[in-house]
Amino acid sequence: MTRADLTVRGGGIFGLSVAWEAVQRGARVRLIESERIGAGASGGLVGALAPHTPEGWNPVKAFQLASLLAAEDWWRAVEAASGLSAGYARAGRLQGLADAAAVALARARGLAAETLWQGRAHWRVVPATGADWEPPAASGFLIHDTLSARVHPQQALAALTAALSAKAAEIVLGEAEEQGAVIWAIGAAGLEALSRDLGRKAGQGVKGQAVAVHLPGHAARPQLFIDGLHIVPHADGSVAIGSTTENQWTAARTTDAQADALLARARDLVPLLRDAPEVARWAGLRPRAASRGPLLGAWPGRPGHFIANGGFKIGFGIAPEAARLICDLVLDGRDGIPAEFAP
């Protein structure tokens, strides 16, 4: 068999996205996943492709915007190659506003978004209508943004895996020889390995739990964002509710009473969820870099090895752009990665 140009380690959203970007550029790719596709943070339920607040512009926000704007065509290409749905839809998002000060701030951000989002998406203050699919809004107003989208995480990974196979990428579960340049996209384990190499903390896993209920018929509706809680309707009839943020845990993949509390809170805030039966709960470790931003670039002191990590809470949202930038560097020798993202 022909040798690969590139080995990608890790079958989560980062590794699969990097491999997909690389095969589209004509590279021969070997992807090695030590356990199973979606064994890490990417195998969950939520899949919100949610934007930053449109103010205090910085390289991370610009990068995230580029990724969210690229997402639709990117996922359509994955769906076309695989014949599978990734569950992508840009259905927007609603957030309630508590008081007059919050309304004024949201309006100012809406003006900023007109420039920062280049007219390609809007952030608008709209009156609450009291409809059954709305977040609480004591001021009587909501933010409606048209940039937010979603994928179904497990469907998205399955579609990417099938798209890679359709393009003759080799996917190995277990171990295999590394060939060509090696891109490490192994999530929380990668941050530990990098920390050991550098002799300082490069990041760590942060546990999160999520729950899904069955409430069909809401797929075209916007996702809701209520004080840090994401409520995301999917085309399969599930509505995902996420997530906890836990810096300490004993079992990374086990759900507990915190998932019960998450569900109870969502049901309290959105009455429509009260009678919707729970269909799944899930826990995983988000890879959080010490910088809290993405970690992209050469692995210090390991020639030919590169890192694609640091997705933290927005890994699905930034994967297309992360894949583009790391492939520019590794395959084409073009380094357009913001200095802030250097490992």
Ligand X SMILES: Cc1cc2nc3c(=O)[nH]c(=O)nc-3n(C[C@H](O)[C@H](O)[C@H](O)COP(=O)(O)OP(=O)(O)OC[C@H]3O[C@@H](n4cnc5c(N)ncnc54)[C@H](O)[C@@H]3O)c2cc1C
Out of 23, 27, 29, 48, the only residue in the binding site for ligand X (CB under 6 A) is: 48
In the complex, the smallest distance separating the C-beta of residue 40 from ligand X, rounded to whole angstroms, is 2
Out of 20, 88, 123, 312, the only residue in the binding site for ligand X (CB under 6 A) is: 312
Restricted to residues 216-235, the positions that interact with ligand X (CB under 6 A) are 230
DSSP string, 210-263: EEEEE--S-TTSPEEEETTEEEEE-TTSEEEEE---BS--S-TT---HHHHHHH
* Residue placing its CB nearer to ligand X in the complex, 146 or 161: 161
Residue 141 as a binder of ligand X (CB under 6 A): the answer is: no
* Residue placing its CB nearer to ligand X in the complex, 155 or 309: 309
Out of 4, 19, 27, 32, the only residue in the binding site for ligand X (CB under 6 A) is: 32
Residue 130 burial class via C-beta count within 10 angstroms: exposed 0-12, middle 13-18, buried 19 and up: exposed
- How are beta strands 29-33 and 6-9 bridged, if at all? parallel
Residue 189 as a binder of ligand X (CB under 6 A): the answer is: yes
Distance in angstroms (rounded) separating the CA atoms of residues 323 and 294:
11
The phi and psi torsions of 231 (rounded to 5 degrees) equal -120, 110
In the complex, the smallest distance separating the C-beta of residue 111 from ligand X, rounded to whole angstroms, is 27
Out of 54, 96, 135, 242, the only residue in the binding site for ligand X (CB under 6 A) is: 242
- Encoded one letter per residue, x for contact with ligand X by CB under 6 A and - for no contact, window 71-100 reads ------------------------------
* Residue placing its CB nearer to ligand X in the complex, 33 or 145: 33
Element (DSSP H or E) covering residue 194: helix 187-198
Tokens (6 digits) for 101: 């000060």
* Residue placing its CB nearer to ligand X in the complex, 21 or 103: 21
Of the candidates 252, 190, 298, the residue with the CA atom closest to the CA atom of residue 44: 252
Residue 168, helix vs strand vs coil:
coil
In the complex, the smallest distance separating the C-beta of residue 129 from ligand X, rounded to whole angstroms, is 26
In the complex, the smallest distance separating the C-beta of residue 159 from ligand X, rounded to whole angstroms, is 15
Tokens (6 digits) for 171: 């996917």
Distance in angstroms (rounded) separating the CA atoms of residues 327 and 95:
36
Of the candidates 50, 63, 56, the residue with the CA atom closest to the CA atom of residue 94: 50
Out of 68, 316, 324, 343, the only residue in the binding site for ligand X (CB under 6 A) is: 316
Out of 51, 203, 208, 233, the only residue in the binding site for ligand X (CB under 6 A) is: 208
Please give the residue ranges that form the binding site for ligand X (CB under 6 A).
9-15, 32-35, 39-42, 44, 46-48, 185-189, 208-210, 230, 242-243, 284, 286-287, 309, 311-317
